Structure 1
Amino acid sequence: MSLTDRLTDRLGGHRPERPAAPAAPPRAPRPVRRIEPEAGPVAVRPVDPLAEFKERAAQQLFERIGARMNDAGLSEQQLHAIARDELVRIVEDEQVPLTPAERAVLLDEIAADVLGLGPLERLLDDVDVSEIMVNGPDRIYVERSGRLQLEPASFTGERQLRRVIERIVSRVGRRIDESSPLVDARLADGSRVNAVIPPLAVGGSCLTIRKFAAQPLTVQDLIRLGTMSEDMAMLLDACVAARLNVIVSGGTGTGKTTLLNVLSSYIPETERIVTIEDAVELQLQQEHVVRLESRPPNIEGRGEVTIRDLVRNALRMRPDRIVVGECRGGETLDMLQAMNTGHEGSISTVHANSPRDAIARLETLVLMAGMDLPLRAIREQIASAVDLIVQVSRLRDGTRRITRITEVQGMETDVVTLQDAFVFDHRAGVDASGRVLGLAMPTGVRPRFVERFADAGISVPAHVFGLDAAR
């Protein structure tokens, strides 16, 4: 008998027998259309018979220590110790006969509901889970190896889910309520969190957590995973060392931040780096790093500090490199101006599906700065500031690959000219398991920025570009 069944019996949680329904009169059989079952396993969510007891114990715990949960003078360890002592008393008051092992399991589950993240704790500890998506209290999806799966776990109700959301956002000084029903936040380990509650979320509160890797991926990890080849890594290393301005382009969930981390690792230890983000995600390993994070307005609508404010301030901090987590508004104009005025070697990301789309996206973001600039002037700024666009894509097998490395060569008439150095070859197809076999191949064209490698004393072999050494 399982622990849950044994505890259910001891708590008197047996299910009452339903009276037998009166027998229905016999009916003539009718033909039944055969319906083929859908392919793939179906997740069956088990019913927790102790859910009512756990919810009752959690509510009692809130009533007893609710005032202490936001006490800044208590450390996380002290708060957990106080909560566990109170939980022991609550369970004893219920007069439930439990063995020490059973009591420890029950106390851990209730403590996770009240002080932790409830059913999400196990998923956060699972190294195979890269993203958690909560669509209401009874629907939890996770991403494993690039595939979405429905989890059997669930919250006891909307109240528990709201408690978890409020606990997350309060720890980073954010708020969420009916007047501000959506928020971006992060967990203690840096995982990115987005929450939306009613009335915006019609079917119940929604929570999305993009997990933060305990150990940041290195360039060797990306080579092993097939995200890039050794030749591509050699080229990107040279581009960062030669202080080229790099834009990482890609869609949502394609691994832009991960690649930005890897590119930032190529920055020499002797340089001063200023990072600017909405929510701190970058994991730079250098020592001389200044990390800046934007701030939303307070409940009175004041005190907001935007990414654009931080970019402007970073220019006064004597940075050798400026790393912007993502350009998504008017700060793009300030970023381009910084790249054009002595801050070479800056790196940022942008949402776009191709290098050409990235140029168009940058144009649109510059217009969001509110400056009445002609389109040609904007394109000249982009062509002069950006040297390289690295396109990251998520393929149909769930893997993330660098599909293009593209040089921004300049302007011809009113068009920004681009030249691919690497292009992903899809002609290899897929293997038996559905994994894409293609690789990003050099185009055989030597980029113009190779001249800057020579000025910086950097040597890149000709075979990296698909050329013979004789050429």
Structure 2
Amino acid sequence: MFGRRSAAPSATPPPAASPATAAAPVSAPPPTRATDLDQRLSDIKIAIFNDLIDSVDPTELGRLEPAQVREEISDIVAEIISMRSLILSAAEQQVVIADICNDVLGLGPLEPLLARDDIADIMVNGADKVYIEADGKMELTDIRFRDNAQLMNICQRIVSAVGRRVDESSPICDARLGDGSRVNVIVPPLAIDGPTLTIRKFKRDKLTLDKLVEFGSITPQAAKVLQIASAVRCNILVSGGTGSGKTTLLNCLTRYIDEAERIVTCEDAAELQLQQPHVVRLETRPPNLEGAGQVTMRDLVKNCLRMRPERIIVGEVRGPEAFDLLQAMNTGHDGSMGTIHANTPRDALSRVENMVAMGGYNLPAKAVREQIASAVNVIVQAARLRDGSRKITHITEVVGMEGDVITLQDLFVFEYEGEDSRGRVLGRHRPTGLRPAFWDRARYYGLDRALAEALSDANA
């Protein structure tokens, strides 16, 4: 498949070994520092990787299964090591083979981080700095890329897998990994210190409301109320700041949608993981090089109204599509859901009102608020606290209008009580004792007794 390659051009042939020393290969003196060893292995990887690229046909590899490709690459790398007469221990050879396979097939140095399920975010700030968020805390790792070219190559591989591109002419891109993890890439000239890659990882084990109860994010009674609200087709907005767990919570709520319902999802990067059999997933598209062909979130929401959906789920409401979603909620698509960036339930409604105005609608403020009050039933507020934990801080209902003001009532509120000796935030989810406005809806679906029991247990 490839020609025999010599060792590094500047190297001189090793002297012939005497019989007494024939068993011991001649090699350079062992490195005295870990950094020397890392640099030596890095140089070896670069040389082998260049030989590999010259030796294989990417088209042929693309026709094989990933496991077969990895096996083929491992064999070729082992042969290159032998041809170059490189002195490597068995462990070092395995490290080199694994790293090169990750470069060709995966995300290079990031592969070990993707395998860890305790990491929520991976943040690459150029080739030399890789941060992670684990257990709510930011950490600098010892992961490094060879150079910015290797990092750029991996960024391009990620975005091209979902039909997008990133380069100097299009330096910002949102994409996703195969498991649904969200990816953002920004490259020079906008990113001054080299390509910047941010990955919001998804856990392999899909979280449920029961898991959130175990983590202390919510009480069992409040979780039961949310489960019933989803099952009885309340229109729900999940509100929260960046990294507060909005998408995770939205995934949890969708588990209680009936399997017979037709669901259409609209997202910028498809990351929702719905379990129902009848799901249609739609994704926006950026403009091409000529600036044409863009498909916006608003285009998707408008189109899905023609697709006979029973529920519309918008991954993130952030623009004029808010008006079309409100229209859908008010015209028979009960049970629709979406996430929105806001710090409180009241702020979430204000943001919806502002986003409707972004669409250029010249409507009176009262008319817009009446639309919001009749469309949205429940707001679930998520927050990331200062100790890194995530809590559901409010379960709030929209109950109508009083004059020009939308009326809200809290069903559950998280009350801060201090912190323990380890700096962890302490508090409790307090029920307000109010009867939910969706009680009649729960009775229509035969879940009023379950709702009464959940509220009774919460108030006990």
| TM-score of the aligned structures, taking structure 2 as reference length | 0.88
Matching residue of 1:152: 142
CA distance in 2, matches of 1:103, 1:137: 24
Contact 2:225–2:454 (8 Å) recurs in 1: no
Equivalent of residue 446 in structure 1, options 435, 440, 444: 435
Deviations 1:155-199 (A, max 9, x none): 111111111111111111111000001111111121111111111
Between the aligned partners of 1:375 and 1:56, the Cα distance in structure 2 is 66
Contact 2:222 2:454 in 1 (8 A): no
Asked if the contact 1:46/1:152 (under 8 Å) is kept, the reply is no
**Partner Cα distance (1:429, 1:313) in 2:** 48
Which residue is equivalent to 1:190? 180
Are the structure 2 counterparts of residues 201 and 376 from structure 1 closer, same or farther at C-alpha, using a change threshold of 3 Å? same
SS of equivalent residue, structure 1 residue 438: strand
- Residue matched to 1:330: 320
What residue is the counterpart of 2:4 in the other structure? none
Q: Is 2:261 the counterpart of 1:271?
A: yes
Count of residues in Structure 1 that have an aligned counterpart in Structure 2: 433
SS at match of 1:276: strand
Structure 1 residue 169 corresponds to structure 2 residue 169: no
Partner of 1:259: 249
Q: Which amino acid aligns with 1:448?
A: A
- What is the match of residue 56 of structure 2? 65
Alpha-carbon shift at residue 392 of structure 1 (Å): 0.3
Give 1:245's aligned residue: 235
- Other-structure match for 2:6: none
Distance 1:178 1:11, change over 3 A: farther
> 1:35: which partner in 2?
none
In 1, Cα distance between the equivalents of 2:36 and 2:363?
56
Q: In the TM superposition, what are the counterparts of 1:16-415 in structure 2 within 5 Å? A: 47-65=38-56, 67-68=58-59, 73-415=63-405
The percent identity for this pair of structures is 51
Q: CA deviation at 1:360?
A: 0.8
Q: What's the CA shift string for 1:393-438, capped at 9, x where partnerless?
A: 0011111100001111111221111111111111x21112122220
AA of the residue aligned to 1:151: T
Measure, in 1, the Cα distance between the counterparts of 2:184 and 2:235. 30
Separation in structure 2 between the aligned mates of residue 453 and residue 279 of structure 1, nearest angstrom = 33
Query: Partner amino acid for 2:383?
Result: S
Q: 2 CA distance for matches of 1:270 and 1:149?
A: 44
Instruction: Report what 1:19 is aligned to.
Output: none
What's the counterpart of residue 24 of structure 1? none
Q: Distance in 2 between matches of 1:267 and 1:78?
A: 40
**Contact 2:250/2:338 (<8 A) preserved:** yes
Rounded to whole Å, the distance in 2 between the matches of 1:114 and 1:14 is 29
Aligned counterpart, 2:421: 432
In the superposition, relative to structure 1, how do residues 441 and 77 fare at CA in structure 2: closer, same or farther (>3 Å)? same
Q: Secondary structure at the match of 2:419?
A: coil
Give per-residue Cα distances to partners, 1:3-45, cap 9 Å, x unaligned.
xxxxxx97648679xxxxxxxxxxxxxxxxxxxxxxxxxxx99
How far residue 80 of structure 1 moved from its aligned partner, in angstroms, is: 3.3
| 1:78 Cα deviation from its structure 2 partner | 4.5
Provide the rounded CA distance (Å) in 1 between the counterparts of 2:102 and 2:355.
Answer: 42
Structure 1 residues 408 and 10: alpha-carbon distance in aligned structure 2, compared to 1, 3 A threshold: farther
Contact 2:31/2:37, CA 8 A, preserved across alignment:
no
Distance 2:254 2:267 in 1: 14
Displacement of 1:120 after TM fit? 0.6
The separation in 2 between residues aligned to 1:398 and 1:384, in whole angstroms, is 35
**Residues 333, 98 of structure 1: CA spacing in aligned structure 2 closer, same or farther, 3 A cutoff?**
same
Unaligned runs of 5+ in 1: 1-8, 17-43
Change (3 A) 1:437 1:46: farther
Residue-by-residue CA offset, 1:73-99 (whole Å, 9 max, x unaligned): 454345434433432333223211345
Distance 1:414 1:454, change over 3 A: same
The residue type equivalent to 1:413 in the other structure is G
SS in structure 1 at match of 2:174: strand
Q: CA RMSD in A?
A: 2.5
Partner of 1:461: 452
How does the TM-score come out when normalised to structure 1? Answer: 0.86
**Alpha-carbon spacing, 1:79–1:246, altered in 2? closer, same or farther (3 Å):** same
Deviation at 1:101, TM superposition (A): 4.7
108-117 or 238-247: bigger deviation: 108-117
Going from structure 1 to structure 2, the CA distance change for 1:151 and 1:452 (only over 3 Å counts) comes to same
- Secondary structure of the residue aligned to 1:396 is coil
> Which AA in structure 1 matches 2:94?
A
> Matches of 2:89 and 2:264 in 1, distance apart?
55
Q: Which moved more, 1:439-448 or 1:82-91?
A: 82-91
Q: 1:434/1:303 Cα in 2 relative to 1: closer, same or farther (>3 Å)?
A: same
Report how far residue 222 of structure 1 moved.
Answer: 0.5
CA pair 400-468 structure 1, distance change in 2 beyond 3 A? closer
Measured in 2, the distance between the counterparts of 1:181 and 1:274 equals: 30
1:446–1:465 contact (8 Å) kept in structure 2: no
1:252 CA displacement = 0.5
Shift of 1:66: 6.5
